[in-house]
Amino acid sequence: MKRETLILLFATTLIAGGAQGDTAPSAESWRWTLPEFMPPPRVPADNGMSEARFQLGRKLFYDPRLSGNGKESCASCHEQRLAFTDGRPVAVGATGQHTPRNSPSIANAAWRATLTWANPAMVTLERQMEGPLFGEEPIEMGVNDKNRKEILARFDSDADYRRDFAAAFPGEADPISFGNVIKAISAFERGVVSASSKYDLYLEGKATLSPEETRGKDLFFGEKAECHHCHGSVNFDDQFYHAKTREIETPFHNTGLYDLDGKGAYPEPNRGVFENTHNPAEMGAFRAPSLRNIAVTAPYMHDGSAATLEDVIDIYAAGGRNVASGPLKGDGRYNPNKSALIVPIDLSPQEKSDLIAFLKTLTDNSLLTSPRFADPWKPASTASGSTRAPVQ
């Protein structure tokens, strides 16, 4: 059965209307507008979707007042033009500290079974957000016990925010809280959907792939390149789940990027699932990221150590990476924990070019430019700083 046919089997509902199980009534409706092959995501019962909540989350996402020193917003590491990544090998927090890992895209995060690179327990956007908000090592947003009240006071002193929080969380006597900040931003992230790439349009019969793109597609979904084993879902990953998923699979993979000691060691603090479980067999195991918009999300890998798509394909074609010199020296191709799926692939230069041509069809230009996902504080050309009125 062809890949396209398999994808279409996911189709269940074009549009799911209304918030799902929300404890707070919403005055506004919410509709998932999705292609046939993309089922609606699962939404937590205690954080139902509403337009008011989505728009509040959008404002907070782009507002540096949410950080301890007022210098960092969520968007600092998740830029729309880069499919909500940041173009850097690893992210940089409000105080200048570097995080150990590459910023993942938030697009289609609603369909991800786990939310970080290597934590099987991180299964909701709401829980994940506590890390960048409150984390101390490294500091990202820099929210702590000393500045929490001050940060909330920034929003409480803004009449527009008081109105927006009340609309997003109706019936609550004191809606401006970190709990609701997290819920609103999660609702925004859940609503950032990417499903209008050239390949999506091709699946809907609205676009035609070039011969090079078609050859790349056939390689991607075929048994020679075998990319589909880890990137074969609707979201081009292998942790895809949705509202009707019964059994959630959360595989993690060691792709043979490092082998510091000949026994499989990865560099600290980037040792994959091992960092949480201390299970030696999970050394170097990371979540396979979605490949949607992959052409605009360089650099690649969990640590941003592969600069280009060409570099990534060369690594996989070689069955892993041999670091010939330096502190990370070691031949990852022979890492004892490497996934059995990562084996040498005899790809010609033309086949590598075809694969990249196909991967570029996964770019959703509407995601990169849609006003619905854009910075609401930015468009007013005369405005600067956090006092600007958002564009509605």
Q: Which residues are annotated as a binding site for heme c?
A: 74, 77-78, 227, 230-231
How many Å apart are CA 156 and CA 168, to the nearest integer?
15
The residue to which tokens 């560099």 are assigned: 267
How many Å apart are CA 116 and CA 50, to the nearest integer?
25
How many Å apart are CA 236 and CA 188, to the nearest integer?
22
58: closest CA among 381, 379, 383, 382? 379
**Cis ω on the peptide bond leading into residue 379 (within 30° of 0)?**
no
Those residues with Cβ within 8 angstroms of residue 158's Cβ, 6 or more apart along the chain or in another chain: none
Strands 330-331 and 322-323, by their bridges, are antiparallel
Point out the annotated binding site.
74, 77-78, 227, 230-231
Cβ neighbours of 163 (radius 10 Å)? 12
Q: Residue 116 in contact with residue 140, Cβ under 8 Å?
A: no
